[in-house]
Amino acid sequence: MTPIAPPRGTKDLLPDDAPAWRWLHDLHAAIAGRHGYQLIDTPVFESTELFARGVGSGTDIVEKEMYTFPDHKGRSLTLRPEGTAPVVRAVLGAHLEQHHRPVRVHYAMAMFRYDRPQDLRQRQFAQVGVECIGDRDPCYDAEVIELAWRFMAELRIDGVVLQLNSLGDQEDRLRYREALVAYYTPLRDSLCADCRRRLDVNPLRLLDCKADAAHVENAPLLGDHLSEASREYFAAVVAHLDDAGIPHTRNQRLVRGLDYYAHTAFEFWHTSLAGAQNALGGGGRYDGLAEELGFAPTPGVGYALGVERLLRVASDQGVAPGPQPPAQLVICTTGDATAAQARELARELRHRTSVVTDFTARKLDKKLRDADRLDAMMALLVGLDEGLVLRNLRTREQRVVDAGGVLDAVSDELLRAAQEWTA
């Protein structure tokens, strides 16, 4: 029988990569926490309607990329392709905005999109993100952008570029939509098949097209169709970012791939990531989303960052932690030592450090070689004639310790290693 392979477009998190994964998630939770954002989590599957209405039926995500299936009662369910619609549903469904506003939440969740898998474009991927729900002020737009920016700075990732745009309000976009349709209609025959469809169902998406880049270049600008109020809102966001010392580039072609955005839209790009996968993350304001989902009008703004992409950049730049040993100390039984003795010692020593036990019937030198391979710092040899022996696996020094002093002896070794490390 051939061994079973993982589904296409998915990746396992293996132990060597886990420290970097943990580091990134811990840092995001810590920084979000320092800004008053609390953890939220939502189901991996939702009713299909949530995304059809929230993300928009004319978007690539809803049209082509959703994992949708009927449950046993024939209800249509979808694996979560993005986190904003579910989080808004969860927050407003629990009436959290009635206690205090805005509600600030952060999340780390797996997402599912049926896309063509390639490097850094997976069918299951992870995002860390925040949503700030329940009030409308340019300060909040700037707050979430600054939060993402500080997070990437604390990861010590260099070379992030913030692309910023305003999508205006619904009326601005209607005016702009008309201008786009007027510009593209005479060009219809020269457009790619996707764009001909976009022209009919979702003209804003025309700006995402790589095949018709020359047309995009000359297309009307959204910025020329913004109302005075929309311009002022955007100018205030820009001013707050300038105050915070966050560099940004105005990108009038940035429309984002989800329909719920209004006003501020942004993306974080990284030059080391190639082509269509150059976005580390993105977000924006979504003041109409709550209504689309059947709730009272409630403004919101947030971002999501791609975990795999962040980790790739962090690892390329040498700032992500590498593999870590599973334990600092290995207890190796030999001679007449019993498993019970080793387990008893392990139980006690775990008050001080991480411990694994090697119960195998192999010779002691084989066990020590294995302990080296684990990159453990110490081995405690149990069952030798001379008594308990504590061996430093880095220096190869070893000494006999009595049973009552083993905890202190291990503490001394840990202290010594920490001093050498900081020296």
Q: How far is the CB of 158 from ligand HAM (least distance, A)?
A: 17
**Is 125 near ligand HAM (CB under 6 A)?**
yes
- Rounded to whole angstroms, the Cα distance separating 272 from 251 reads 19
Q: Which is nearer to ligand HAM, 125 or 151 (CB)?
A: 125
Question: How many amino acids of this chain bind ligand HAM (CB under 6 A)?
Answer: 26
Q: How far is the CB of 148 from ligand HAM (least distance, A)?
A: 10
Using the contact rule CB under 6 A, the part of the chain among 25-33, 68-76, 240-248, 278-286 near ligand HAM is: 278-286
Question: Do 136 and 99 form a contact (C-beta atoms < 8 A)?
Answer: no
| Residue 102, preceding peptide bond in cis (omega within 30° of 0) | yes
- Rounded to whole angstroms, the Cα distance separating 37 from 41 reads 13
HEC readout, 398-414:
EEEECHHHHHHHHHHHH
Interface pick for ligand HAM out of 168, 203, 283, 299 (rule CB under 6 A)? 283
Interacting residues with ligand HAM between 158 and 197 (CB under 6 A) = none
**Is 303 near ligand HAM (CB under 6 A)?**
yes
Q: Which residues contact 38 (CB under 8 A, 6 or more apart)?
A: 104, 105, 106
Helix, strand, coil in percent for the chain, rounding step 5: 45, 20, 35
Q: How far is the CB of 101 from ligand HAM (least distance, A)?
A: 17
Using the contact rule CB under 6 A, the part of the chain among 77-85, 192-200, 338-346, 385-393 near ligand HAM is: 77-85
By Cβ distance, which residue is nearest to ligand HAM? 306
Interface pick for ligand HAM out of 157, 292, 302, 401 (rule CB under 6 A)? 302
**Is 37 near ligand HAM (CB under 6 A)?**
no
| Backbone phi, psi, residue 101, to 5° | -130, 145
Handedness of CA 31, 305, 318, 373 (dihedral sign): positive
Strand partners for 99: none
- Helix 228-243 vs helix 138-154: crossing angle, to nearest 10: 40
- Rounded to whole angstroms, the Cα distance separating 19 from 260 reads 35
Q: How far is the CB of 187 from ligand HAM (least distance, A)?
A: 27
x/- letters, 223..262, toward ligand HAM (CB under 6 A): ----------------------------------xx----
Q: How far is the CB of 304 from ligand HAM (least distance, A)?
A: 4
**Is 146 near ligand HAM (CB under 6 A)?**
no
Which tokens in the block code for residue 355? 């411990």
HEC readout, 245-295:
CCCCEECCCCCCCCCCCCCEEEEEEECCCCHHHCEEEEEEECCCHHHHCCC
Cα–Cα separations (whole angstroms), residue 395 to 8, 153, 331: 45, 37, 17
**Is 132 near ligand HAM (CB under 6 A)?**
no
**Is 84 near ligand HAM (CB under 6 A)?**
yes
**Is 308 near ligand HAM (CB under 6 A)?**
yes
Interface pick for ligand HAM out of 89, 263, 309, 367 (rule CB under 6 A)? 309
Q: Which is nearer to ligand HAM, 17 or 308 (CB)?
A: 308
Q: How far is the CB of 215 from ligand HAM (least distance, A)?
A: 23
**Is 127 near ligand HAM (CB under 6 A)?**
yes
Q: Which is nearer to ligand HAM, 141 or 413 (CB)?
A: 141
Interaction site with ligand HAM (CB under 6 A): 82-84, 113, 115, 120-122, 125, 127, 129, 131, 257-258, 279-284, 302-304, 306, 308-309
